[in-house]
């Protein structure tokens, strides 16, 4: 139990941070927000998965991927494909007039009809079943990440080169998904998703259920990533980021460790994509191209690239700011968002978590040490707590 406490919760401060986040997500937000805002929050949270993945592979591993949108999108598309097939089946069955029956083919998504495709393409067969779709949601992105990771890290492509390659990958994926209209729904993506195994995902109760599912899975992902980062593997990852050659000379397979981090990030991102589709009800290639992928990195940077919990706040703050600014000051929001990126990278390389560690936490400590009672009750402000979030990040 104490191992669980130290490794997965990250000791006292980690447990408190996670507790506050859990309370916010599971109690405060559902009570304070109406169902529309809560659904919006679930949408934001499904992006937070990517940010968590980026903390693992970028913050700790130094692998900056500008193509996380690809994995997020592939996960989303897998779920969207299943939901679309189910919707198509229902629409064809519910068709009453002969005219409607002539317009719809049983079990074929509408965009395939529009593109003169008469038979379901073979790679869509798996999406007829929900379990297979869920498996594919994890398998497709992780296989891609595995292959890419093998090819790239074995050849020791790193840093900027890796970033550019992943960016090109995001672009390739967008171009393919947009032009292969009959297979992917083209620029509109896969829209008009309604039910999942007969369960209407658009009702209020479904949106509540999906919000709580998203929150709980997000918290679970944080725990798993904490476990990874606090293990020996996590320390190796940081060592690789800071001094790769030394780790390699010590006999470790650097490529293998990096690939693991990359695949973990891809799987978590894919989960977020799948949840996004269920929460929002559509998926489109516009959400997975270069710009959204850079935004995902920004979420992570604003929250703090070393802090798993910070990444969630970063995703929430940036997306909320984006929505709010574009509603309140439509002309100004680009300036403001640009300014935020500049200021955060220039002055707060560790993001919100860095602000907390540098300014807020010392304040608490000061307050704590002034009160003799706190010291007497065993609160030792001088002992170094196990805080994975405060690892020094002077490197890239």
Partner 1 sequence: MMHMMLPMLAQTSWDEYKAIFLMQGFAGLSLFSVFLLMSLGLAIIFGQMRVINMAHGEFLTLGAYVTAIMSTFVMESFPDFMPYYFPLAVVGAFVAAFIVGYLVEFSLIRHLYNRPLDTLLATWGVSMVMQECFRQLFGARETSATLPDWLMGSWAPTEQIDIPLNGLLMLGMSIGMLLLVYLLLYRSRWGLRVRATTMNRAMAGAVGINTKRTDRVTFALGCGIAGIAGAGFTTIGSVSPTAGSAYIVDTFIVVVFGGAGSLIGTLISAFAIGQAQSILEFFLTGVLAKVFVLLAVIVILMMRPQGLFAQKVRR
CA distances in angstroms from 291 to 36, 128, 211, 288, 326, listed in the order given = 26, 32, 26, 8, 17
CA distances in angstroms from 240 to 62, 68, 82, 217, 258, listed in the order given = 8, 21, 40, 29, 8
Q: Which is nearer to partner 1, 264 or 344 (CB)?
A: 344
CB of 347 to partner 1, least distance (A): 9
- Using CB under 8 A, which of 171, 208, 212, 379 touches partner 1? 171
Note whether 265 binds partner 1 by CB under 8 A: no
Neighbour-count burial of 65, counting CB atoms closer than 10 A to its CB (0-12 exposed, 13-18 middle, 19+ buried): buried
- Using CB under 8 A, which of 92, 117, 165, 233 touches partner 1? 165
Distance, in Å, from the CA atom of 196 to the CA atom of 192, rounded to the nearest integer, reads 12
CB of 297 to partner 1, least distance (A): 7
CB of 207 to partner 1, least distance (A): 32
Note whether 168 binds partner 1 by CB under 8 A: yes
Find residue 195's DSSP bridge partners: 200
Six-digit token string for 11: 């000791």
Cα 395 → chain centroid:
24
CB of 235 to partner 1, least distance (A): 21
Note whether 338 binds partner 1 by CB under 8 A: yes
- Using CB under 8 A, which of 169, 217, 306, 309 touches partner 1? 169
Distance, in Å, from the CA atom of 157 to the CA atom of 163, rounded to the nearest integer, reads 10
Q: Which is nearer to partner 1, 281 or 349 (CB)?
A: 349
- Using CB under 8 A, which of 123, 249, 335, 364 touches partner 1? 335
Distance, in Å, from the CA atom of 323 to the CA atom of 321, rounded to the nearest integer, reads 5
CB of 113 to partner 1, least distance (A): 23
- Using CB under 8 A, which of 22, 132, 163, 387 touches partner 1? 163
Structure-token match 């540098």, residue found: 358
Give the x/- contact pattern for partner 1 in 120-159, rule: CB under 8 A.
Answer: -------------------------------xx--xxx-x
Note whether 167 binds partner 1 by CB under 8 A: yes
Query: Is residue 149 within 8 Å of 57, Cβ to Cβ?
Result: no
CB of 290 to partner 1, least distance (A): 7
From the list 270, 277, 73, the residue with the least C-alpha distance to 191 is 277
Note whether 294 binds partner 1 by CB under 8 A: yes
- Strands in the chain per DSSP E: 195-196, 199-200
Q: Which is nearer to partner 1, 5 or 171 (CB)?
A: 171
- Using CB under 8 A, which of 103, 200, 231, 339 touches partner 1? 339
CB of 172 to partner 1, least distance (A): 5
Structure-token match 């996380």, residue found: 68
Distance, in Å, from the CA atom of 70 to the CA atom of 111, rounded to the nearest integer, reads 22
Contacts to partner 1 by CB under 8 A:
64, 151-152, 155-157, 159-161, 163-165, 167-169, 171-172, 175-176, 178-179, 290, 294, 297-298, 301, 331, 334-335, 337-342, 344-346, 349, 395-396
């Amino acid at each position: 139990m104490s191992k669980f406490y130290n490794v997965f919760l990250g000791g006292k401060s980690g447990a408190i941070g996670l507790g506050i986040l859990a309370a916010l997500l599971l109690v405060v937000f559902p009570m304070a927000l109406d169902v529309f805002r809560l659904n919006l929050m679930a949408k934001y949270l499904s992006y937070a998965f990517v940010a968590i993945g980026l903390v693992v592979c970028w913050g700790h591993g130094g692998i900056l991927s500008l193509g996380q949108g690809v994995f997020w999108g592939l996960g989303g598309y897998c779920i969207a494909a299943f939901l679309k097939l189910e919707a198509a089946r229902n629409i064809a069955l519910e068709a009453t007039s002969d005219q409607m029956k002539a317009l719809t083919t049983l079990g074929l998504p509408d965009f395939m009809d529009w593109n003169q495709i008469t038979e379901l393409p073979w790679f869509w067969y798996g999406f007829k079943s929900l379990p297979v779709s869920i498996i594919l949601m994890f398998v497709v992105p992780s296989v891609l990440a595995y292959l890419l990771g093998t090819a790239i890290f074995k050849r020791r492509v790193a840093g900027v080169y890796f970033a550019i390659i992943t960016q090109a990958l995001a672009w390739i994926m967008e171009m393919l998904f947009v032009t292969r209209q009959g297979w992917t729904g083209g620029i509109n993506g896969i829209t008009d998703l309604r039910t999942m195994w007969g369960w209407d995902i658009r009702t209020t109760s479904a949106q509540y259920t999906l919000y709580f599912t998203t929150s709980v899975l997000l918290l679970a992902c944080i725990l798993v990533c904490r476990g990874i980062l606090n293990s020996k593997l996590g320390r190796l990852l940081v060592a690789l980021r800071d001094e790769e050659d030394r780790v390699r000379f010590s006999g470790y397979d650097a490529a293998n460790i990096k690939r693991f981090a990359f695949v973990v990030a891809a799987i978590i991102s894919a989960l977020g994509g799948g949840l996004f589709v269920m929460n929002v009800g559509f998926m489109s290639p516009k959400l997975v191209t270069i710009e959204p992928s850079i935004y995902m990195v920004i979420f992570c940077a604003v929250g703090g690239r070393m802090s798993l919990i910070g990444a969630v706040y970063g995703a929430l703050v940036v997306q909320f700011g984006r929505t709010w600014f574009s509603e309140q000051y439509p002309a100004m929001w680009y300036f403001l968002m640009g300014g935020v990126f500049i200021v955060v990278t220039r002055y707060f390389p560790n993001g919100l978590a860095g602000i907390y560690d540098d300014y807020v936490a010392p304040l608490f400590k000061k307050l704590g040490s002034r009160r003799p009672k706190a010291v007497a009750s065993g609160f030792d402000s001088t002992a170094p707590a196990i805080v994975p979030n405060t690892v020094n990040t002077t490197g890239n």
